[in-house]
Amino acid sequence: MNRSDAVDGPAPYADEPAAAASRAAAPDVPDPTASYATERRVAADRVHLRRAIALALHSPLPDPNPRVGAVLVAPDGTVVGEGWHHGAGTPHAEIEALRAAGHAARGVTAYVSLEPCNHTGRTGPCAVALAEAGVARVVFAQPDPNPTAAGGGDTLRAAGVEVSGGLLADEAEAVNRVWTRAVRLGRPYVTWKVAATLDGRTAAADATSQWITSAAARADVHRLRAACDAILVGTGTALADDPRLTVRDVDGRLTGRQPLRVVLGDRPVPATAQLHSAEAETLFVPGHRPATALSQLHRAGIRHAWLEGGATLAAAFLRDGLVDEIVVYLAPTLLGAGRPMVGDLGIGTLADAIHLDLVDITPVGPDVRLILAPAGRKE
């Protein structure tokens, strides 16, 4: 039995030598022992990979880097090290686990929720670190979609490490759903949030809009804002509403890490505006091209942009196909007139309408939160 099979425990049959001799005489007869051992090995792989995926949930959100967990398991099935990534610039999950294991890392199987990285950034390549530590086998769930960091599996194989990838990939990818799509697209994942009346108005005819939705809905918005890297509005919203664009508690106090505030447009924002406060950093992006703004944000490490601009900016993103998710808070209120949810989309006939898939519907206080995505979109 080799080291990677040892995790499966002792052979399941007492007469293994006799069975092996019989199979040698009749090579076409299936080997039930091998099949059973493979099943047990895969079952063990699933258990340890799920632990790695669970550890990945401890990684910070938001962050430019993916959330990753790692588990090191000795040939006798003992877990000798665990770790997860604590954020950009800190050791990766594999390094954390190797440090926890120390000399016990030699000969282990490493279970990682994402393919070990293969590049040198703020830290060195994890694939090389695993090989140098004497790890015998690496099992990872999600292949790395980042072309800059991918290829760790090949590097490990070249170093003589047994590698298996793709098991529980969907479960691991769900932990990094937004990051994965952002990396594949080469731009931030964009969530458009809008609060409106039942007839689709975001403000009354006299421009009053506070508050269309309830305190419960507003608290929910702050909870979701906290998971984003940036909050984006246009100069129209900045001038009309003088927003803070921060994450706050029910008493209006700042909580946790603040997203980057981003203002798109050419009109100057007065120095007295709240967007110039020290509560959070603000980036002013000139022009009116959503793709240009997103490209700049992606280069700055922004992976999830929370779009809170008005109808005109929302329409610009939708026209360019740059909205990945829509979060709508609907109040049980009718206005009959006022600002619409979205501006002109350039659609002249029903056949050209933008269709959406309903992902989730949840009551929030007296309001309803809808989460939607462009119809038929694949992550």
* DSSP state letters, 115-132: PPP-S-SSS--HHHHHHH
Q: What is the CATH number of domain 3-175?
A: 3.40.140.10
What are the sequence ranges of the domains in the chain? 3-175, 181-374
Averaged pLDDT for residues 151-163: 95
**Which pair of structure tokens corresponds to residue 99?**
């440090």
Q: Convert the pLDDT of each residue in 224-251 to its tens digit.
A: 999 999 999 999 999 988 999 999 998 8
Q: 114: closest CA among 64, 43, 173, 202?
A: 173
In CATH terms, 181-374 corresponds, of 3.40.50.2000, 3.40.430.10, 3.40.50.300, 3.40.50.20, to: 3.40.430.10
Say how far apart CA 215 and CA 257 lie, in whole Å: 22
Q: Are 324 and 373 within 8 A, CB to CB?
A: yes
Which pTM was predicted?
A: 0.84
Please indicate whether residue 94 is annotated as part of the active site.
yes
Q: Is the pLDDT of residue 223 over 90?
A: yes
pLDDT at 309: 82
- Looking at every residue in the chain, the average pLDDT score rounds to 89
Catalytic member of 82, 94, 115, 308? 94
Say how far apart CA 250 and CA 268 lie, in whole Å: 31
Averaged pLDDT for residues 186-204: 95
pLDDT at 124: 82
